[in-house]
Every structure is written in structure tokens, then in C-alpha cells.
Amino acid sequence: MHELGVVRRTIERVDRAAVDALSPFSVATVHEAMGRLGLMRPYIRPVYEGARLCGTAVTVLLQPGDNWMLHVAAEQVREGDVVVAGCTTESEDGFFGELLATSLRARGAEGLVIDGGCRDVDELRTMDFPVFSRAVNAKGTVKATLGSVNVPVVVANALVNPGDVVVADADGVVVVPAARAAEVAAAAARREAAEEGKRERFRAGELGLDLYGMRGPLAELGLTYVD
């Protein structure tokens, strides 16, 4: 799957309408709408409170302590893309900072998801350029070894293909395969509508035990109430 030393210039992005349709939903909702698949491991965290993004993936495969491929990726970015970077090994160096953020924003990028470290977090907060990373680290990187751009990449245990939709917020990062974007957006909308009704009933004091009809199954499994 992975390839080194390759940049794919032509990728098929999910169409903008489907991205826009996914955009209002939280990661938790999208993940449920996906059938509970596609979630990155929870060690990927926003570098500042309020960071949120939704866009099409330009993927990057990095080498440890080396951010060369992020510069290569910048050229492949179009309006509405999210750069999504994995690494051939665990590396928490600061691959990314505000200069690269300035470059990516100028190219139209929505933000970055990286299985590595990030620096300049105060500047990124000020710019409101959302980054989701595994670490914050002032340690800079070299430019010495080839990785790849726009190949399938595993990032924090999730497979990302170029052009997939990536949604990230305070709860984590989820990847929606291009082919499923429209369907997942519709399922997310249905789920959110259903939740609104439930929310009202919970607010009124109704119990999940009743709302979800749990009392029977619990009794059947032998749940015992004692005084």
C-alpha cells in the first residue's frame, strides 16, 4: 500500500457538496453515522481549544524528524483540503509551525492532522489554523529523506486515502471514505434529528431505561435490584 518517493498529482476529491453536507456534524455523530468505523486513535488532540475542521484529504507519509514532504504536499493542496500526515514510525518532533501554516492557508487548506508533533501553537491559535497532533514540541525537523504525497496512509491507526473527507473536533478525528460521504452525511442528519427528540425527553426527566426499552433486556440478563 504505502509507497515512498511518490507524489500523486491527480486525486479524486469528494465533491464539495458532500463535504459541506458533513461539515455541520460533530466527529461523534459522523463516527456513529459511519457505523462506528474510521476513527483515529484518541491520542490525536487539537493543539488549541475550539479547533475544528472538515475537508478533503491530501495525504502525506513522513519520515521521523523530517518534514520535507509537507512542503511537497503544499503544492498539491486545493481550496478545502486538509493535510493528513502519517509517519513511518512514532515521532513527536515539531514537524509543523506557523510558517507552514501560512503557506498551507495561502493554498486554501482547512487545517492539518498529523501523527507527529507541532510547534508555534500560540501563533496557530492566533491564526485560527486548526491542527490536530499527537504532541506539542518545539523541536524542529530536517529535510533529508523522501516520503510520499497522496498515497494511502495509515494515520493514528486509521486508513486515509487521498480525497477522503476528514472531520476533526474536540472529540477526535474521523475519516469518511470518499465513496461513502453522501450516505454518511444523510445518516448523520437522521441521527441528529433523532437525538433532538431524545434530548427533549431526557431533559424532561425521562430515563434512558424507559426511552430505550432497556428494562426487559436487563432483567433477562439477571440484573437484580436490592434495597
Residue 45 in contact with residue 207, Cβ under 8 Å?
no
Q: Which residues of 64-92 are buried (b: 16+ CB within 10 A; e: fewer)?
A: bbbbbbbebbbebbeebbbbbbbbeeebb
The span of 13-21, 167-175, 182-190 binding its own copies (CB under 8 A) equals 167-175
Residue 208 in contact with residue 198, Cβ under 8 Å?
no
CB of 183 to its own copies, least distance (A): 14
From 3, 12, 20, 183, residue interacting with its own copies (rule: CB under 8 A): 3
Dihedral angle at the C-alpha atoms of 64, 69, 70, 74, nearest 10 degrees? Answer: -170
Does residue 80 bind its own copies (CB under 8 A)?
no
CB of 66 to its own copies, least distance (A): 8
Residues 168-207 that bind its own copies (CB under 8 A): 169-172, 174, 177, 195, 198-199, 202-207
Cell numbers of 138, please? 518545539
Does residue 66 bind its own copies (CB under 8 A)?
yes
Closer to its own copies by CB, 143 or 190: give it.
143
Residues 123-142 that bind its own copies (CB under 8 A): 135-140, 142
Residue 159 in contact with residue 82, Cβ under 8 Å?
no
Q: Which residue has the cell 453536507?
A: 21
CB of 20 to its own copies, least distance (A): 20
Closer to its own copies by CB, 17 or 219: give it.
219
Residues near its own copies (CB under 8 A), total: 100
Does residue 146 bind its own copies (CB under 8 A)?
yes
From 26, 182, 189, 192, residue interacting with its own copies (rule: CB under 8 A): 26
From 35, 79, 126, 183, residue interacting with its own copies (rule: CB under 8 A): 35
Cell numbers of 72, please? 511537497
Helix (H, G, I), strand (E, B) or coil at 97: coil
Residue 44 sits at the vertex; the CA angle it makes with 79 and 124, to the nearest 5 degrees, is: 50
Residue type, 108: G
From 56, 58, 91, 187, residue interacting with its own copies (rule: CB under 8 A): 91
CB of 186 to its own copies, least distance (A): 19
Distance CA 194, CA 14 (A): 26
Residue 100 in contact with residue 141, Cβ under 8 Å?
no
